[in-house]
Amino acid sequence: MHEFSIAWNIVEIITKAVEDNRLIRVDTITVEAGELRQIVPESLEMAFDALKTEGDRSEEIKNCRLKLVIIPQVVSCNDCECEFYPEDLCYLCPQCGSINTTVTEGEGLIIKSIEGETAE
């Protein structure tokens, strides 16, 4: 279950953001994950919820909500420049039939935002 290691990294990032930005509360973290990462949302949420309250984690993150946005894979044909959304892992260009294609979206994993309240 690779979701556990992803959740662990998310919690570490939030913990650092709390320290670096003097946050008194973190409400939501938005994560964008490419479809090709094959993340099971329920597994990631379960791991995140367990890890954010585990051990000596800070009070500031215990009620944080994880918002996961799945980014669909997009493939571009290098011959005719057609962009398409493959239904499976067959990257054959639907316009010209070329196999000379490149995945342009759907592989990433980024923290899009961390929302909370700072100390005044």
Segment 67-112, tens digit of pLDDT: 999 999 999 999 999 999 998 888 999 999 999 999 999 999 999 9
78 lies in some domain? no
Query: Residue 86 domain-assigned?
Result: no
Amino acid 94 reads: P
Average pLDDT, the chain: 93
Above pLDDT 70, what percent of the chain?
Answer: 97
Q: d(Cα 23, Cα 80) in Å, to the nearest integer?
A: 49
What type of residue is 47? A
pLDDT band at 1 (very low <50, low <70, confident <90, very high): low
pTM reported for the whole predicted model: 0.85
Q: Is residue 38 part of a domain?
A: yes
Give the CATH number, domain containing residue 47.
Answer: 3.30.2320.50
Which amino acid, 43?
S
> Has residue 60 been placed in a domain?
yes
Structural domain of 20: 2-72+106-118
* Measured distance CA(76)–CA(100) in Å, rounded: 9
pLDDT band at 54 (very low <50, low <70, confident <90, very high): confident
What tokens does 113 get? 């935002």
How many structural domains does the chain have?
1
Q: Is position 43 within any domain?
A: yes
